[in-house]
Structure 1
Amino acid sequence: MAGKSLLDTTLNRLKLILILSGLNLERFNRPQTIKRRLIYIFNFIWLNSDIICAIFYLIDGVKNGTDMTELTYLAPCSMLSAVSNLKSLYIISYNNYVNNLIDELRALDVNSINYNTNIKNKIEKEERRFLNIVINLLNILNIGMVVNFTFSPLILIAINYFRTKKVELMLPFLDVYPFDPLNIKYWPLVYIKQIWSECIVLLEICAADYFYYICCTYIRIQFRLLSYEIENLIPIQDTDDQDIRSKLLKLIKWHQHLISVTNTLELIYSKSTLFNFFSSSVIICLTGFNVTAIDNLAFGVTFLTFLFMSLLQIFFLCLFGDMIMRSSQEVSDAAYNCLWYTVDCRLIKYLMIVQIRAQKPCKLTAMGFADVNLRAFTRVLSSSWSYFCLLNTIYTPSADGI
């Protein structure tokens, strides 16, 4: 692949997202870093002021016996906001590790140039296509969700006006403010504030998740290249064992480098992933409940988009983790499939060590409590379904009693 590497090309796609969210992945000089931090602090205060207002709404709702559909309307949005806060804070907290991770991935790319270029180009093309599909799909869903939350209240205001000839102002989110947000003096400003808060949540989640996808994709590319080189290490024709030994030692160092890079990625994301797993079960449950319980079509469509976005967010988190696990285990198969029986015993021992180590997959975890793979996704869905059934059971009798 001519020109920029996959890593640099894809990171460049995050440039606008990073600027708007106030995050940075690469090393900046001091003035640039301060500028980004100021943007992040501004967004942090902006978003969390709305989260506090949402918490007050939930507290007031519980005290006043507000209908469950109204309470669950706001809860998934608040939890997703908490997820975005945590993800962005960990990106900032581990910024040095993030910088080092990018440098290490670039070093791996430089190292892989010395190997089969055609195979490298083919693998990178396949992985780039899949990564672009994932990012484009999520971008479309996120834009759709912003559009839905932005225009649903306006559509309902217009519908109510044509029915009753009265203007009843509405907001995207049911927050409690120290003033009347439906007063025409404040309503436009509050409306804009809530929409930008939603944008901040999506920007921060996208920045953290897209970087995770890029790193996982790049590590997978390196594991696939390593597997190819190990499998084709020993040629059919007779060759000098010393040359094979020299190449094998380089491949072993490559493998160790990949293990180290995966551990760094695990360090950056493990804590936020644990909270993401827990919150996703609740978010999917509450959003699914809103889709089935809310009669309003406009809000139903809005939460249906929210549900798809939540499902895909946790699915791709698990899928990319699963891809790293599988590709790292393929190194073991590659060591077995090479022509190991044609070389001397010392080289066979080296290959056995590589094979045994590769059988222990490189993996990402939620702080060690769960592996990040497709099995974890099924457990999240199972938990969500259990919570949904319980919530539906609690809600149905009260609905019948009205």
Structure 2
Amino acid sequence: MDENSLFDKYLRIIDYTFRWSGLHLRNRKDYNVRKARILYCIHFIGLNLNVLGGFWWFVKQASKGESLVSLTYAAPSIALACLCNFKSLSIMLNASYVDKLVYKLRELESKVDLNSIESKILVEEPIKFLHFVLKVSNLFNWLLIVAFPSMPLARTAYNFLAFNKVELEFPFLTEYPFNPYDIKIYPFVLLSHIWGESIALFWIFASQSLYYICATFIIVQFKLLQQEILQIIPENSSNKGRRQNEDEVFQIKVWKVVEWHQEIIEAVKLVDIIYSKSTLFNFVSSSAMICLTGFNVTTIDDLAFVVMFFAFLCLSLVQIFCHCLFGDMLMRSSKEVSDAVYNSKWYLTNAKNAKMLHFLQMRAQKPCKLTAYGYADVNLTAFSKIMNSAWSYFALLKTVNR
């Protein structure tokens, strides 16, 4: 790992989430694959035992004929846990592609000088935005880790102080084959809830943060490529009196630009391979999660549950919006390569050289994009469709609940 690499600097920011959640990110010398996978398996089994308990609670309550509002209590947490599973598995099962992507972006960064004044100007805006998103996501992640277990504990303390009665509660509604409210067992069950919730949020933060970092540095590469294309033909160039060696130098520059462009496209494909399946589930589940949490916030009278579901709603909205936003930014930056060719001084060179630039422009007009396993493109249009679906489901639930 290059200590001076800007890309590795941001990988180090999210390193603790990968280290403690057992996900695969070999960006440090002391990485131990076996230990990481054992830790991941322990987390995976522990989290999904709670998920099975949540399903069991849902089926048991449905068989009793509970109301729609009561049944939707457990649905958002179950959907979130399933999303966490998909996101973590997308990293673990595509570990080789994650390695290739990390090495590819390091290699691309090593080929450019990010310390030059022009490069700093181009890099500054996307890097600042990435830093802001990571900072806010990290803060939001820790607030949720603290907030979820605090709600039942606060309610228990309030009931004891105000009404002198002890009513033990858990952050999530889960059914067990034993009595979890036994005072001897309750602390261990509560800790398992806190542990499962923390791991779930760590997996979301780790997966999404790696996605944000890789997308941002691909966008940076596209911007640097645009700068190189704009400068490929100098202002003092002229068709008259051109020497053969000048054309050869130009052709070498064009081939380097084409190879650079191909390497960036390869990096985009790697990101798509890693995230496309989890993105598809993300798109499908986000509509349900936003709908159900919004429904719970507007129908439940209990303030503690309202706060908890509102936190779920914010998490769902922010997560899916940022995912679509970075995909949209990447797609737009790839299309701008075509504009850079058009804005270059192609008219100062001969027809043969101009034709080479035209071929580059034609390829750049086909934008690089991330997809939800080929079913939809990851952009802001997809986000608007998700929100439309969520609103439709929300309106239907409100009608049925009347």
TM-score tier after normalising by the smaller chain length: over 0.9
Residue 149 of structure 1 and its aligned partner are, at CA, apart by 1.1
CA deviations over 1:188-236 (Å, ceiling 9, x no partner): 1111110110001011111111111111000000000001110121111
Q: Separation in 2 of the partners of 1:92 and 1:162?
A: 47
Instruction: List 4+ stretches of structure 1 deviating above 4 A.
Output: 27-31
How far residue 27 of structure 1 moved from its aligned partner, in angstroms, is 6.5
Q: Distance in 2 between matches of 1:382 and 1:79?
A: 19
Picking from 241, 258, 269, the partner of 1:263 is 269
Contact 1:22–1:36 (CA under 8 A) maintained in structure 2: yes
- State the one-letter code of the partner of 2:275: Y
Deviation by residue 1:51-71 (Cα, 9 ceiling, x = unmatched): 000000000011001232222
Q: How many residues align?
A: 394
Displacement of 1:164: 2.5
RMSD: 1.7
Residue in 1 aligned with 2:259? 253
* Matched residue, 2:20: 20
Q: Is the 8 A contact 2:141 2:205 kept in 1?
A: no
Question: By how many angstroms is 1:179 displaced?
Answer: 0.6
Question: Is the counterpart of residue 156 in structure 1 residue 162 in structure 2?
Answer: no
Q: CA deviation at 1:19?
A: 1.2
In structure 1, distance between residues paired with 2:109 and 2:400: 55
Report deviation, 1:163. Answer: 3.5
Aligned position for 2:110: 110
Amino acid at match of 1:51: V
Give the alignment of 1:193-272 within 5 angstroms: 193-238=192-237, 240-272=246-278
Counterparts of 1:116 and 1:189, CA distance in 2: 52
Deviates more, 1:23-32 or 1:248-257: 23-32
| Residue from 305, 321, 326 that aligns with 1:320 | 326
Q: CA deviation at 1:129?
A: 1.2
**1:238 CA displacement:** 2.6
In structure 2, the residue matched to 1:400 is none
Distance, in Å, in 2 between the alignment partners of 1:51 and 1:121 is 47
Q: 2-side partners of 1:39 and 1:338: how far apart? A: 53
SS at match of 1:390: helix
Structure 2 residue matching 1:73: 3-state secondary structure: coil
Indicate yes or no: 2:362 matched with 1:356.
Answer: yes
Separation of aligned partners in 2, 1:155 and 1:89: 34
| Cα distance in structure 1, aligned partners of 2:145 and 2:221 | 36
Aligned residue among 282, 285, 289 for 2:291: 285
Q: Identity across aligned pairs (percent)?
A: 44
C-alpha spacing 1:33/1:371, structure 2 compared with 1 (3 Å): same
Change (3 A) 1:34 1:264: same
Query: SS state of the match for residue 74, structure 2?
Result: helix
| Offset at residue 316 of structure 1 (A) | 0.6
Question: 1:33 maps to what in 2?
Answer: 33
Match of residue 120 from structure 1:
119
Q: Deviations 1:156-186 (Å, cap 9, x if unpaired)?
A: 1122223431111111111000111111111
After TM superposition, the score normalised by the length of structure 1 is: 0.95
2:175 matched to which residue of 1? 176
CA distance in 2, matches of 1:258, 1:264: 10
One-letter identity of the residue aligned with 1:247: K
Q: Distance in 2 between matches of 1:276 and 1:308?
A: 15
1:372 is aligned to 378
Is the 1:84–1:201 contact (alpha carbons within 8 Å) kept by the matching residues of 2? yes
**1:125-140 equivalences in 2 (<5 Å):** 125-140=124-139
Q: Give the distance between the partners of 2:71 and 2:187, measured in 1 at CA.
A: 24
- 1:252 and 1:354 in contact (8 A); partners too: yes
1:167 aligns to 2:166 (yes or no): yes
Post-superposition offset of 1:283: 0.5
Consecutive unaligned residues of structure 2, counting only runs of 5 or more, are: 239-245
Shift of 1:270: 0.6
Compute the displacement of 1:279 (Å): 0.4
Is contact 1:141–1:305 with CA below 8 Å preserved after alignment? Answer: no
Query: Contact (CA 8 Å) 2:21, 2:39: kept in 1 or not?
Result: yes
Question: Structure 2 counterpart of 1:204, which letter?
Answer: W
Q: Report SS of the residue matched to 2:367.
A: coil
Distance 1:281 1:117, change over 3 A: same
Distance in 2 of aligned mates of 1:4 and 1:313: 30
For residues 181 and 267 of structure 1, the distance between their equivalents in structure 2, rounded to whole angstroms, comes to 42
Would you say the 8 A contact 1:144–1:305 is kept in 2?
A: no
1:267-296 residue CA offsets vs partner (Å, 9 max, x unmatched): 111111000000000001111111111111
* CA distance in structure 2 between the aligned counterparts of 1:119 and 1:369, rounded to whole angstroms: 39
Give the structure 1 partner of residue 190 of structure 2.
Answer: 191
Q: Structure 1: give runs of 5+ residues left out of the alignment.
A: 397-402
2:280 maps to amino acid: L
State the SS of the aligned residue for 2:175: coil
Q: What is the letter of the counterpart of residue 14 of structure 1?
A: I
1:35-54 superposed matches below 5 A: 35-54=35-54
Normalised TM-score (structure 2): 0.95
SS state at 2:369 partner: coil
Q: Which residue of 1 aligns with 2:242?
A: none
Q: What's the counterpart of residue 55 of structure 1?
A: 55
